[in-house]
Structure 1
């Protein structure tokens, strides 16, 4: 079946065996035009195979000139991921099987590559572009090269133009010595853009607020922040999305760790919370405590039976074991149907949840415009309300969200955007911080 040489790169003889033992085997090139050749080789991913002795080097793909770059680890991982669909795949004809396999591997590699690129962007704080052969390189803007840097007798100087230049730098030695203090801290992944300390210490970071732009799906932090904002100074309890999703999905071991024992549900008129159904679609859980009704509001209008949701919420009340809420266990909870505008697209479920919740909390009719422009305006309105309702920017640190009310700490303000930061949050030592007091300082957003 395998040939020549039983699928090995070299002929099995004493001369080649001796060369293998001495590490003197010369690389060999395979002729792909030879249709009669069938090799049995392995790459680095299978180096620790059962093959031992000379046969291991005879079958190593590293000794093949035109195949040494191959790495089957991605294919092995793809095959493992596709294992659950193997029965379905085996029913396909060859063309569909090949298409499905190639598409699956492509999507998995794309996801891994995007994850790697995003991680690189966070570490180096510069864009990552691919060169002509697909290798990622860091793209520096000229304003980042503020002075000439001498590395390994090679001088790299900044250009005076405004265009971007792609460079690859192999650092043989660090530019800054270990004794030289670093006055510019590394940029954190996300700055805080909103903080509400008087309403339960709620904070919102830049990446979460950006989900309100464009056609993005809203994340749970944005929904929690805005629900607490519209419920402010009202007798409404907001359960965070994580707890609500754990309750309605029946994850007892999770919501048992979040019983909220000190919160008396019976003292509130309404209870609301975002429900991330199947991890990709936002619903709204709404409880009217006066009428003893529970509703799971589906933005698309597909209101199904809430029998299971009522049972799981009742189980959550039992686990909480709150003395004042024990009477809620004896109450017969009913499902209520709430008429509302329906979602027509595939990405505005979070906006509908916030808008419907706002109407229910304010006791108004759930009727609003659902065209594309109106939904975009609604995103901007929610974004503006979050920023306007936030604490003054000079009152909280843009990294931790806390103010100076409890402990006196060293602060520093950006001379351009007036954002304030704790010295400890920036990771600055005392000498470096004191040196900045006599000079202008810009935060990592403004540099």
Structure 2
């Protein structure tokens, strides 16, 4: 505050206000401070997001910025408190005991409630911290509880399979060309559990994982299973819409895919352009496998001819396709046809351009082991970042969102992040979730 000036002592002096070092509008100068703060905020907003010529625009923009900063501060406080608060508190108590001359370490209090044991990012229970007698030093002994429970794919898979099916994103698998990706939801990953019928997205993602691991390059093209079904069993109007206009078949020597039969069974499709043979392989024992392959070769010829005519192309034009039979193991249960299809595709990719004799076990125990290995492959091949993307839509920004600031909420159990818009929760439920511990649909 500056010195007070008595204006009344100089009546008639019109320049009295100009001589003052600071203009005091009120006694405590509150009004002046508010005006200066508002002018600074207005300059800051003009600099960051353009000019604002209306007062209501300034107020609305100021509210959005202020609310976002408050939420960011609340989230950082909540994460810090959940991370090391209890251990630091116990160590502080022990230091107080030592200052009072007590040599006995302060024991950790154990709660009788089950909820007192915190959960890690994969739902695995964490053992309580050890007493001070087993700890040495000061700063090195502040135990970070989260670091004790690093989520391995094995533990993560065990936890995910125990939960009821949800639509939470658990993996994003890039395709063979790295251009697009497969978004794998929790319910789809759970189809790899024993005695479950595999989902088409899971089978196709495993095809692309095998192609990336074996580095087959451009020798084999992985055809979408829906497209393969249209080629073999679709009508002409459907075929006309499936053009594959961006694919040059001359760049490939073979195609692998699979088709759905009556929504209850999967068959493996292998098109070998080297020996001009089409294989439609049934994992179960089928006496019509030869006839099915011949019919598939005819449908493929019709599709290629129609495609070349519409697009004026000459890809695979002079090839006379024939049906073939492949020696393979037989399915021994009623639900592992998808697993066998994946194993067939992997063996074909390994031996291509040769046609191998497929040999692998198909017992119930072997199929259970293969299911587990495939699920682990999907989790390990994932490029999904749970800290940056929403676990419901797999995106950083909700679809159709044009706002600058996006409201997020984090699960206190698995620490996944979600867009509040993607959850579809009521306003009262969201307010309660922000104020208290909140568990997502996967952890609840």
TM-score interval for Structure 1 and Structure 2 normalised by the shorter chain: 0.5 to 0.7
1:270 aligns with 2:263: no
1:327 corresponds to: 315
Q: What is the Cα deviation at residue 199 of structure 1?
A: 5.2
Unpaired runs of 5+ residues, structure 2, are 1-113, 115-163
| In 2: Cα distance, 1:419 partner to 1:291 partner | 50
Q: What is the Cα deviation at residue 437 of structure 1?
A: 6.1
Q: What is the Cα deviation at residue 246 of structure 1?
A: 2.0
Aligned counterparts, 1:192-231, within 5 A: 192-197=169-174, 198=178, 200-231=180-211
CA contact (8 A) 1:239 1:271 kept: yes
1:443 aligns with 2:440: yes
Structure 2 length-normalised TM: 0.52
Q: What is the Cα deviation at residue 414 of structure 1?
A: 1.6
The aligned length equals: 262
Alignment partner of 1:256: what SS?
Answer: helix
Higher relative contact order (CA 8 A, sep 6+): 2
> Could you report, residue by residue, the CA deviation over 1:357-410 in whole angstroms, capped at 9, with x for unpaired residues?
111112265211122211110111111111111124415422223346998754
2:375 corresponds to: 383
Q: What is the Cα deviation at residue 292 of structure 1?
A: 2.6
Over aligned residues, Cα RMSD in angstroms?
3.2
1:421 aligns with 2:422: no
CA contact (8 A) 2:276 2:319 kept: yes
Selected match of 1:250 from 207, 221, 234: 234
CA contact (8 A) 2:398 2:421 kept: no
1:366 aligns with 2:366: no
1:304 aligns with 2:304: no
| In 1: Cα distance, 2:333 partner to 2:188 partner | 21
CA contact (8 A) 1:264 1:325 kept: no
Closer, same or farther in 2 for the Cα pair 1:422/1:319, shift >3 Å? farther
| In 1: Cα distance, 2:281 partner to 2:440 partner | 43
1:317 aligns with 2:308: no
| In 1: Cα distance, 2:313 partner to 2:368 partner | 41
| In 2: Cα distance, 1:379 partner to 1:349 partner | 12
Q: What is the Cα deviation at residue 434 of structure 1?
A: 8.6
| In 2: Cα distance, 1:400 partner to 1:441 partner | 19
CA contact (8 A) 2:331 2:362 kept: yes
| In 2: Cα distance, 1:289 partner to 1:323 partner | 21
Q: What is the Cα deviation at residue 309 of structure 1?
A: 1.0
Q: What is the Cα deviation at residue 347 of structure 1?
A: 2.1
Q: What is the Cα deviation at residue 411 of structure 1?
A: 3.7
> Could you report, residue by residue, the CA deviation over 1:22-81 in whole angstroms, capped at 9, with x for unpaired residues?
xxxxxxxxxxxxxxxxxxxxxxxxxxxxxxxxxxxxxxxxxxxxxxxxxxxxxxxxxxxx
| In 2: Cα distance, 1:228 partner to 1:252 partner | 29
CA contact (8 A) 1:238 1:273 kept: yes
Structure 1 length-normalised TM: 0.52
Alignment partner of 2:375: what SS?
Answer: helix
Alignment partner of 1:328: what SS?
Answer: coil
Larger radius of gyration: 2
1:138 corresponds to: none
| In 2: Cα distance, 1:422 partner to 1:224 partner | 28
Selected match of 1:402 from 395, 398, 404: 395
CA contact (8 A) 1:293 1:336 kept: yes
CA contact (8 A) 1:266 1:324 kept: no
Q: What is the Cα deviation at residue 268 of structure 1?
A: 2.1
Q: What is the Cα deviation at residue 422 of structure 1?
A: 2.5
